[in-house]
Amino acid sequence: MEKAKKLLEELKGLEFSKMYNEDFLLTWEKSDDEIAAVFKVADILRDLRESNVSTKLFDSGLAISLFRDNSTRTRFSFASAANLLGLEVQDLDEGKSQIAHGETVRETANMISFMADVIGIRDDMYIGKGNTYMREVSKAVREGNEAGVLEQRPTLVNLQCDIDHPTQSMADMLHIINYFGGVENLKGKKIAMTWAYSPSYGKPLSVPQGVIGLMTRFGMEVVLAHPEGYEVMPEVEEIAIKNAEKTGGSFKKTNSMAEAFKEADIVYPKSWAPFAAMEKRTELYGNGDFEGIKALEKELLAQNANFKDWECTEELMATTKEGKALYLHCLPADISGISCENGEVESTVFNRYRDPLYKEASYKPYIIAAMILLSKVKDPAEVFEELIKEEPKRFRS
Amino acid sequence: MEKAKKLLEELKGLEFSKMYNEDFLLTWEKSDDEIAAVFKVADILRDLRESNVSTKLFDSGLAISLFRDNSTRTRFSFASAANLLGLEVQDLDEGKSQIAHGETVRETANMISFMADVIGIRDDMYIGKGNTYMREVSKAVREGNEAGVLEQRPTLVNLQCDIDHPTQSMADMLHIINYFGGVENLKGKKIAMTWAYSPSYGKPLSVPQGVIGLMTRFGMEVVLAHPEGYEVMPEVEEIAIKNAEKTGGSFKKTNSMAEAFKEADIVYPKSWAPFAAMEKRTELYGNGDFEGIKALEKELLAQNANFKDWECTEELMATTKEGKALYLHCLPADISGISCENGEVESTVFNRYRDPLYKEASYKPYIIAAMILLSKVKDPAEVFEELIKEEPKRFRS
Amino acid sequence: MEKAKKLLEELKGLEFSKMYNEDFLLTWEKSDDEIAAVFKVADILRDLRESNVSTKLFDSGLAISLFRDNSTRTRFSFASAANLLGLEVQDLDEGKSQIAHGETVRETANMISFMADVIGIRDDMYIGKGNTYMREVSKAVREGNEAGVLEQRPTLVNLQCDIDHPTQSMADMLHIINYFGGVENLKGKKIAMTWAYSPSYGKPLSVPQGVIGLMTRFGMEVVLAHPEGYEVMPEVEEIAIKNAEKTGGSFKKTNSMAEAFKEADIVYPKSWAPFAAMEKRTELYGNGDFEGIKALEKELLAQNANFKDWECTEELMATTKEGKALYLHCLPADISGISCENGEVESTVFNRYRDPLYKEASYKPYIIAAMILLSKVKDPAEVFEELIKEEPKRFRS
């Protein structure tokens, strides 16, 4: 537990008191110290678990999960985080297509939250909807708590919305930090967040947006690369630009994958849908125009097919820093010749990075647990000190 | 915890020893003291939870839920109650339409109960079926326990059947008790359980039946109002009449919503299906006559449409005691202009009562937990005294 | 807890150290001492639970279940076992028909296992697939653990595959052992594992295979009876033959149900599909030939219908040892005149044995828990000694 002890001392130097009793919806709503606190707490939780110390802070209580899109990975990550802290997951299965409105949200949010300490929501399908929905739920349970309906206020964790995917980008970032031996080693490192070809349409924009919104805060050179027409939300680009200005890093855009990869320390090639198309899709959906949606999907696939050369090849990898850039992906990847004929990445590249990729993913449960812990526990340092002293066993082996 | 301590003293004065190792299926099978004990225990559990005292009496064990009808609210209430006591919910998904018979029930009940301490069942779709099914399950696991198959006998909680909805009516009642400052203030209060229009058919009768079967036990003036043809089960009316006789209250019926609302202290306007139609539906279902069911549904909707004026309006509310009757609903309500064009209640009425309505619902998990606790714990007072003394923390914050 | 104490002393005399950190996939991969250890631990766990002693060795942690075939009994047994030890079940719902390959298995296995201590898999539909799949998953998580992706290595429990059904056969065997008053009383006992008619097709072979692969290890006379064409996997017959040679018992085959039942101490009449047909089905499935599968199923039902006289009748039961053979079934059984017109067993026979049948089934959660415990706990005897000394309560009643 030496690692946990050291991290705990570092945690004590951070100011994150405003996270208490608050949601985690967008990384850029959190201060640098708050972001750093999430990383410290995640690493502390991981070290404690590896040392067979139980971090079950809750003796009972529920963690509600609400997935408005299919999910295996995030679902299991959320369940793992909840279990690590002692909360029992209850899944609210709303049906994938239903978009609830106003009063219904308010009522349902309260009805499921009588014993809920946290609510995790994934709602990434429609531009302008997901994040808005989360804020509606948050407001509803805050009011419910104030009115004496709910004994406690469940805080929210954004498990992916239309704008950001904070649990993903934070897990990616913690992987980068640990891979490069500390946040202090990241200054000037080049990271290429690039579009890549996939034979599917409509992948959410929240991953590239989450990455440029977060990675620009560490003094790195962040490059966003995509074919024309695959722009992300301009509001998030604005945030990336401001972040870069503040931290002495940079944020650049290009339409060349090769330019992005050149001398990059980190590459993140991943497919996404064009923002304009996603907006159109939301509109069609709002109008119940399912024929229109089908036509749009066909159109999008055809558009994608113009950019099959946007693939993370060995050749491209060879152009990165010493040919050894760290390859990232949120998984599952479209691997050429494996999961599809032409995809985001050549299979030899993917295979070489499998262990680091899985390691990258392994941070997510701890990141989610850290977000929950920081929103629920008033004095995390004190609680960790107690745990380190008492060493309650996770497993009586 | 002063509240819990006071309630505990009151609990000690009640005789409820027969609840131990017994099911909770119909409120009228329980004595006045037993009903009172459920309210006391529910309020004690709530106060302990608000005081961050863990009431996890079970270190392990399962709570089986069996929903033969869609449910979000009751499902989460049951899960919350189980979690509060330390039981893990396992849901038996039987498929909504399947009605199991004899041997299958007996076998399945045992196969799922090896570690089950409690079974919660919702089966409200068919007249003459739901409660009968619960008793079959109860008998099966009792025999399984006696034969050494099951280490413990899981007790049953009726989460809504064709006859009663005890967790709902008890939650409603506890809300009333706390709203009026104690059961001693209810004598002579007028409560109007009235039918209301809804553009849907086939809503169960168990809510109005549960209400008249329970509320007549507290010396109140209970009025049941509905259009002709929307009668409830005569057996339950019999019980309401007897209850009223015994407690010095009254039970009256009327076909006028206005009469019911007049000077009422509490109003409960809610749609339900006519008993005769529900009986016919069960028969059609038994014959596999799905065409007949469709025709019946159409007929029922047309019949409902004759009574669109059965709506809880501001005008009607103004005729209640000082215009301020407590408005109740089991939720979700059909709100005119919100969830449908014409519904059970005007939106301004509903909106004004939103907080109390949510509060009403918030009692359900505690009522269910109290029912479980009283059926499993031999000496609840002793256990509560220990908890109050030891103060085990629910959340290490 | 006298029983637990006695069993603990017997456990100490067994050599089972190699079970630590290993999967439980086939009974014949385990030594006699290891098999005996599972029985001892299962009975200890049961006695502790009956004595209200908590065996929650895990304070947190997940038990992943992965059912590639419908299941209620095994699902609840696995959930019960996990709960008994303190693990929370998370179900991975893959869709019933999907057969994942290579990389996908590797990735998914890691993605769901970050907090997983155990994975239970049921995959019994296709010859040559289920057990292979389990080994793929096992390899994937072992590698994930070695690469630092997973903090712990989840061990696997085979909840039924194409070859063996160890949790079933072990539960059956523990029932036999306790019924006859100890394993030392089984020498020379005759057990008839016989095919029986059922109006359904494609029932897995893993039950008869599991039974002949395990029951031949106790010096019993094991008879496998089936009509011509209903052969089981020859590899498993080989194992049965070798087992019998080693233990002084016997393994015989016959095409006569009457011969098998004659003077039998135990009978296990149960339907299964012919091995050759199952192989053909797997091939058709591999080719996506769903028309072929339909045709095959029709053919199989017709073939079955030739053997309607393979029924466990009162007449046949009368020919067993003193007319009182112990009747076994993995449940649910096809009961003539109850669940179908003609089935595996006459209803009077089934009814007479209902309690023992349910008791037989009741061992399964304990067998699964024992398998998990022996693979996760380094020194089970020490842990049990602590539990017996400390007597942590399962239920504070």
Fold of B2-164+364-390: Rossmann fold (3.40.50)
Whether residue B48 is predicted with pLDDT greater than 90 in this model: the reply is yes
Q: Do A72 and C90 touch (CB under 8 A)?
A: no
Burial B228-239 (b: 16+ CB within 10 A, else e): eebebbeebbeb
Whether residue B202 is predicted with pLDDT greater than 90 in this model: the reply is no
Nearest chain B residue to A93, by CA: B72
Nearest chain C residue to B141, by CA: C358
Q: Do domains B2-164+364-390 and B168-361 have the same CATH topology?
A: yes
Which residue in A72, A76, A84 is closest to C60 by CB distance? A84
For domain A2-164+365-390, the CATH superfamily is: Aspartate/ornithine carbamoyltransferase (3.40.50.1370)
Q: Do A394 and C90 touch (CB under 8 A)?
A: no
Q: Quote the pLDDT of residue B124.
A: 87
For domain B168-361, the CATH superfamily is: Aspartate/ornithine carbamoyltransferase (3.40.50.1370)
Whether residue C94 is predicted with pLDDT greater than 70 in this model: the reply is no
pLDDT band of residue B103 (cuts 50, 70, 90) is low
Q: For chain A, which residues make up each domain, given as ranges?
A: 2-164+365-390, 167-361
Contacts of C86 in chain B (CB under 8 A): 60
Q: Quote the pLDDT of residue C99.
A: 44
Q: Quote the pLDDT of residue B94.
A: 66
Fold of C167-361: Rossmann fold (3.40.50)
Q: Is B171:B361 a contact under the CB 8 Å cutoff?
A: yes
Whether residue B72 is predicted with pLDDT greater than 90 in this model: the reply is no
SS (H, E, C) chain B: CHHHHHHHHHHHCCCCHHHCCCCECCHHHCCHHHHHHHHHHHHHHHHHHHCCECCCCECCCEEEEEECCCCCHHHHHHHHHHHHHCCEEEECCCCCCCCCCHHHHHHHHHHCCCCEEEEEEEECCCCCCHHHHHHHHHHHHHHHHHCCCCCCCCEEEEEEECCCCHHHHHHHHHHHHHHCCCHHHCCCCEEEEEECCCCCCCCCCHHHHHHHHHHCCCCCEEEEECCCCCCCCHHHHHHHHHHHHHHCCEEEEECCHHHHHCCCCEEEEECCCCHHHHHHHHHHHHCCCHHHHHHHHHHHHHHHHCCCCCCECHHHHHCCHHHCCEECCCCCCCEECCCECCCCECHHHHHHCHHHHHHHHHCHHHHHHHHHHHHHCCCHHHHHHHHHHHCCECECC
Whether residue C102 is predicted with pLDDT greater than 70 in this model: the reply is no
Which residue in B59, B90, B386 is closest to C54 by CB distance? B59
- In tens, the pLDDT along C54-78 reads 999 999 999 999 988 778 888 999 9
Instruction: Work out the minimum CA distance from C49 to partner chain B, whole angstroms.
Output: 8
pLDDT band of residue B372 (cuts 50, 70, 90) is very high
- In tens, the pLDDT along A89-131 reads 999 876 533 445 566 889 999 999 999 999 999 998 888 889 9
Rounded mean pLDDT of C178-206? 95
Count CB pairs under 8 A between chains A and C: 91
Bridge partners for B119 per DSSP: B64, B156
pLDDT band of residue A330 (cuts 50, 70, 90) is very high
Rounded mean pLDDT of B58-68? 94
Instruction: Work out the minimum CA distance from C225 to partner chain A, whole angstroms.
Output: 44
- In tens, the pLDDT along C271-303 reads 999 888 888 888 888 888 989 989 998 998 999
State how far the Cα of A244 lies from the Cα of A246, in Å rounded to an integer: 5
Whether residue A185 is predicted with pLDDT greater than 60 in this model: the reply is yes
pLDDT band of residue B2 (cuts 50, 70, 90) is very high
- In tens, the pLDDT along B129-183 reads 899 999 999 999 999 999 999 999 999 999 999 999 999 999 999 999 999 999 9
Instruction: Work out the minimum CA distance from A267 to partner chain C, whole angstroms.
Output: 20
Whether residue B101 is predicted with pLDDT greater than 80 in this model: the reply is no
Q: Quote the pLDDT of residue B102.
A: 60
Instruction: Work out the minimum CA distance from B373 to partner chain C, whole angstroms.
Output: 9
- In tens, the pLDDT along A131-176 reads 999 999 999 999 999 999 999 999 999 999 999 999 999 999 999 9
Contacts of A84 in chain C (CB under 8 A): 60, 115
Which residue in A73, A83, A359 is closest to C60 by CB distance? A83
What ipTM does the predicted assembly reach?
0.94
Q: Quote the pLDDT of residue C101.
A: 52
- In tens, the pLDDT along B218-272 reads 999 999 999 999 999 999 999 999 999 999 999 999 999 999 999 999 999 999 9
Q: Quote the pLDDT of residue B96.
A: 40
- In tens, the pLDDT along C312-341 reads 999 999 999 999 999 999 999 999 999 899
- In tens, the pLDDT along A234-291 reads 999 999 999 999 999 999 999 999 999 999 999 999 999 988 888 888 888 888 898 9
Rounded mean pLDDT of A377-386? 98
Q: Do A92 and B72 touch (CB under 8 A)?
A: yes
Average predicted confidence (pLDDT) for chain A: 94
Please state, for a pLDDT cut of 90, what percent of chain A lies above it.
84
